[in-house]
A = this chain, B = another copy of it.
Amino acid sequence: MTALRASDRSASAEPAIIEKLHADYMKPGVLSLAAGVSYMKPPQDCLSEALEAVLKSESADPHRYGDVVGDQDLLEVIRWKLETVNKLRGQEIMVTAGANQAFINVLLSITDVGDEVILIKPYYFSHLVALQLCDVVPVMANSDSELKPDPMEIKASITPKTKALVLVNPGNPSGSVADRELVEELETLCHDAGIWLISDEAYEHFLYDSEAHYSPSLYPNQVINIFTMSKSYALSGWRVGYLSYPKNLSDSMLKINDTVPTHACRTSQSIAAKALEDHGNFPAVHAEELERNRDEIWRVVEKYATVKTKGAFYFFIKAPGVYDDLEATRVLAEQYNVLVVPGTAFGMPGYLRISYAGLRYEVMKTAADCLEQGLRYLSRIPPEDEDAKKRRD
């Protein structure tokens, strides 16, 4: 008789880390530097236009199934955005219910059970879980001393079973930016090895200190680019992402999207279309507004950080002192009212991810103060001795 329990693939996958952190530590009064999203509101006129159109519609159409690849209006404006902003041309485009679901589509469309896919440490945790759920073997490549992809490390990770390299650029949680030269080196490396480059560009617009974003496109037949409306347009709750890929994946992508979400919420797609069409400047202004936050947090974390990374909205720092990162996270949340994400979640124990986007500047300053005190405490205080620990538990 078969035991009625969870599957091995789901049971052995990593737990949903952010959910667990929130459940354990996100008590009233705790300020979150854990958020993977900014405090911004999306452009109000996009919401008004799209929602009022739905409310006024006599037809049932906005409420009914749409095209699996996405609604035409949105696809057109995405095509225009990809051509003008990302310099990507001639690829197929699909709208998804966010970038995570886009990544699942990519894995199912290009990998089979037992294939290997290379993640760069520190990796984005949902990528690892996705690989585990899809029975693909994750192979980890270390990044360099500046938390950037290291071509030598990646090259050394390639085996005959490798199907793809995953590049998150700008990096989550590293915040590091791979410039055009480095991305082209990775593209060429993938091309020479005959593997896919999966380019997750969720943070494409979050760049500081004159960094520029480059979307890989040297070898369009072996690159898949993933984008999202969640970060750039503060639309995470609406669940819209998109991806571009070569034509020989079209049939597979269509089957997969049809079978997983069917399509993204149609009203979310309308909002996304209006945002991309009318507010091309919003993401840059959005990122600019975060600079004050970034400076404030950098002031606090500078002495614990390897490098002042120039992208996304994270610093990835060494957990100071003798606590491990999980315990440091607990101390920061319980004693200093500030939530961060332990590096263990990204495959790098001993580190902490600090987000500088989730709180408005005024509140961020308070959070930065809490963090500063917490990090100082961690730096100099030894861990509880075993007796004290037992008494506490």
Interface set of A (CB-CB < 8 Å, partner B): 1-11, 13-16, 18-19, 36-37, 39-42, 47-48, 51-52, 54-55, 60-68, 97-98, 100-101, 104, 108-113, 115, 126, 129-130, 133, 135, 160, 162-163, 193-196, 221-222, 230, 234-239, 248-249, 251-252, 254-256, 258-268
Contact = CB atoms under 8 A, between A and B. Distances in A.
A6 B255 CA distance: 12
Contacts of A15: 251, 254-255
A112 B9 contact: yes
Copies in the complex: 2
Contacts of A48: 55
A191 to B, nearest CB: 9
A71 to B, nearest CB: 10
B261 A100 contact: yes
Given A11-B252, A265-B239, A110 B6 contact: yes
Task: Give the top 10 A-B pairs by smallest Cβ distance, nearest first.
Answer: A1-B194, A10-B252, A265-B265, A6-B252, A16-B258, A237-B266, A129-B259, A41-B60, A51-B51, A97-B261
Contacts of A265: 97, 237-239, 264-265, 267-268
A16 B97 contact: no
A238 B255 contact: no
Nearest to A41: B60
A9 B262 contact: no
B63 A9 contact: no
A16 B260 CA distance: 12
Nearest to A1: B194
A286 B210 CA distance: 58
Nearest to A104: B260
A193 B260 CA distance: 29
A267 B54 CA distance: 13
Nearest to A17: B258
Contacts of A162: 2
Contact of A13 (B9, B54, B249, B255): B255
A260 B258 contact: no
B237 A65 contact: yes
27 contacts: A2-B160, A2-B195, A6-B110, A7-B112, A13-B255, A15-B251, A15-B255, A16-B255, A19-B67, A37-B64, A41-B60, A63-B235, A63-B237, A64-B236, A64-B237, A66-B237, A97-B239, A100-B259, A100-B260, A113-B135, A126-B258, A129-B259, A237-B265, A239-B261, A239-B262, A260-B261, A265-B268
The residue in A13, A160, A265 that gathers the most chain B C-beta atoms within 10 A of its C-beta is A265
A108 B126 contact: no
A264 B3 CA distance: 31
Given A48-B55, A63-B238, A66-B237, A6 B251 contact: yes
Contact of A237 (B14, B62, B193, B255): B62
